[in-house]
Amino acid sequence: MTDSFIELNGMSADCFQLISQGGCFFIGASVTAQKNGWTDKLVELISEKLKSSFAVGKKAMGGVGLTFGVTNWPNIDLPVGGVVFIEFSSGDLNLGLTPLDRLETLLESLIIDILSQKNFPIIVHNWRSDFRNEKGDIVRNIYNAVASKFHVPIIRNDIFVESEIAQDANIDKTWFRDICHTTSEGAFAYAKHIFDAMCVISSQKNTGVINVKKADKILGEVEPLFHLDKYFNFDNYVSNTYTYPNTGQ
């Protein structure tokens, strides 16, 4: 684990203790929801370390900034006092209807919701073959700015994968079955990388109190999601079960 693969942003906490008490929750898109994907493998690794069961939740919203995600976010039952992983989805770039200038506000509201439940958020930047490096940075940089503002750690799976490809050009074929969904081998590599990053985050001096105070300070400055109807016409959207075309999930 090198510094280039993780950005602490001045924040740390004992991730494993928090998970043992409040569980872990995953927010993202189809990569997050993928059966036997990195989230399932990560849960297995954490279970092996803790030697005990804990609450696990997933919510695939298709991307934080997607209109689909915006309308479904209020329906998420967050844990209390756990760890919440937020998967970067380039769906915010190529599929979303949310203007990029609104994405930052949405992310801030999401982080505040997570912090208000005394959870510890971690952003995970995933890799996509069609949005590599600077092509995906138009959205990643928005996530990074919000993470810096709230002192939220970022785990850079995108940089990790690129470093592996530099050593083995076939990694994108052995680790991925399409542009972003992992094979079993890739899922384990993702999970092991995130697990190692969690160990780094947990080994630092615990400064988590800064996070909560930061959220309390600006709760009144960032508009909550339930007021976003002034930006979007929600009357045209109905929350139904959605099947991802790539995975059938």
pLDDT at residue 8 in the model: 87
Distance of CA 121 to the CA centre of its chain: 8
Judge contact between 181 and 30, C-beta under 8 A: yes
Tokens of 35: 């059966």
The DSSP annotation for the chain comes to --GGGEE-TT----HHHHHHHH-EEEEESHHHH-TTSHHHHHHHHHHHHH-S---EEEEE-S-TTSHHHHHHGGG----SSSEEEEEE-THHHHT--S-HHHHHHHHHHHHHHHHHTT-EEEEEE---TTS-THHHHHHHHHHHHHHHHHT--EEEHHHHHHHHHHH-TTHHHHSBSSSS-B-HHHHHHHHHHHHHHHHHHHHS---HHHHHHHHHHHTTTS--GGGGGGTS-GGG--------TTT--
Lowest mean pLDDT, pick from 47-61, 150-164, 179-193, 235-249:
235-249
pLDDT, tens digit (0-9, with 9 covering 90-100), for 102-141: 778 778 878 888 888 889 999 999 898 888 888 788 788 8
Please state, in angstroms and as integers, the Cα–Cα distance from residue 224 to each residue in 72, 84, 241, following that order: 14, 18, 25
Q: Which residue has the tokens 């976003």?
A: 228
The model's pTM: 0.80
List the CATH code of the domain at 3-232: 3.40.50.1110
pLDDT, tens digit (0-9, with 9 covering 90-100), for 187-219: 999 999 999 999 999 987 554 433 444 444 444
Longest pairwise C-alpha distance within the chain: 50
Q: How far apart (Å, rounded) are the C-alpha atoms in residues 166 and 209?
A: 39
